[in-house]
Copies of this chain bind each other. A is one copy, B any other.
Amino acid sequence: MTHHAVCLVSGGMDSAVTLAEALAAGFTPHALSFRYGQRHAFELTAARRVCAQLGVEDHRIVELDLAALGGSALTDDIPVPKHRAEEEIGKGVPVTYVPARNTVFLSVALGWAEILGARDIYLGVNAVDYSGYPDCRPEFLEAFEALASVATAAAVERGERVRLRAPLLDLSKAEIVRRAKALGVDLAPTLSCYDPRGSAERPRACGACDACLLRQRGFEEAGLVDPGLAAS
């Protein structure tokens, strides 16, 4: 019997490894990405490449115009912070936080899971080397599962509980890099940068935002070279 899972895929390193974990666990993954008004749609190019590389056949990109509501450096004209010291990253919520983004993404994933008859949703959140986002923490995931258990017809009529699977939750960036190697995931097409430049087809990481710094540190600690999109 085939087990289907919805997988949130941003195009970053973490979601690529998460998708590979879903495959390794025997699921047929259905990848979900969003065009949510992010300043750069480069990450969608990366998401498509990640899915192609891993042989995922079903990849949907949902249009969702969060930029119409404003309020984040990822969708507005607020500058993305650069070269922040290690001890600053993860202390407090940064301006790159998009209000309720993971709640919104998981809600859409929940709806799609119900349509597909899937009971598992994979997402690449990480509570160790993270940027300080409230919706990347275990208590958030637990509250969402509790909501899901009363939100859908599948749950209420047929008792089908949805399980959030966040295999990277407790891993450091270095451990994620090593996990990618162990699973045979090529990280070359992934893009973790909050402020990429170049073109949509040939994006380059900025090398200085929180996401770039965390990624660099992860590769350094793992003793590996980042095959990804080089900094400009």
Interface residues of A (CB under 8 A from B): 60-66, 68-71, 92-93, 97-104, 106-108, 110-112, 114-115, 134-135, 137, 139-140, 143-144, 146-147, 149-153, 155-157
Contact (Cβ within 8 A) A69 B137:
no
CB distance from A152 to the nearest CB of B (A): 6
Contact (Cβ within 8 A) B115 A111:
no
Contact (Cβ within 8 A) A110 B115:
no
Contact (Cβ within 8 A) B146 A150:
no
CB distance from A89 to the nearest CB of B (A): 15
Smallest Cβ-Cβ distance to A30: which chain B residue: B69
Known: A137-B150, A140-B150. A68 touches B64 (CB 8 A): no
A195 to B18, CA, bound (A): 41
Contact (Cβ within 8 A) B64 A65:
yes
Which of A110, A112, A139, A147 has most chain B Cβ within 10 Å?
Answer: A147
A229 to B110, CA, bound (A): 34
A143 to B147, CA, bound (A): 5
**CB-defined contacts of A134 to chain B, threshold 8 Å:** 150-153, 155-157
Pick 7 A–B contacts, CB within 8 A, sort by A. A69-B115, A71-B114, A99-B110, A99-B152, A100-B111, A134-B150, A134-B151
**CB-defined contacts of A102 to chain B, threshold 8 Å:** 151
Smallest Cβ-Cβ distance to A114: which chain B residue: B99
Can you name 19 extra interface pairs (CB under 8 A) apart from A60-B69, A62-B66? A62-B64, A63-B65, A64-B64, A64-B65, A69-B112, A71-B112, A93-B153, A100-B107, A100-B110, A100-B152, A101-B111, A102-B151, A103-B151, A134-B155, A134-B157, A135-B152, A140-B150, A143-B146, A143-B149
**CB-defined contacts of A108 to chain B, threshold 8 Å:** 64, 66, 69, 100, 104
A27 to B153, CA, bound (A): 33
A93 contact from B65, B70, B71, B157, Cβ within 8 A:
B157
Contact (Cβ within 8 A) A65 B68:
no
Contact (Cβ within 8 A) B103 A110:
yes
Known: A66-B111, A69-B115, A112-B99. A139 touches B150 (CB 8 A): yes
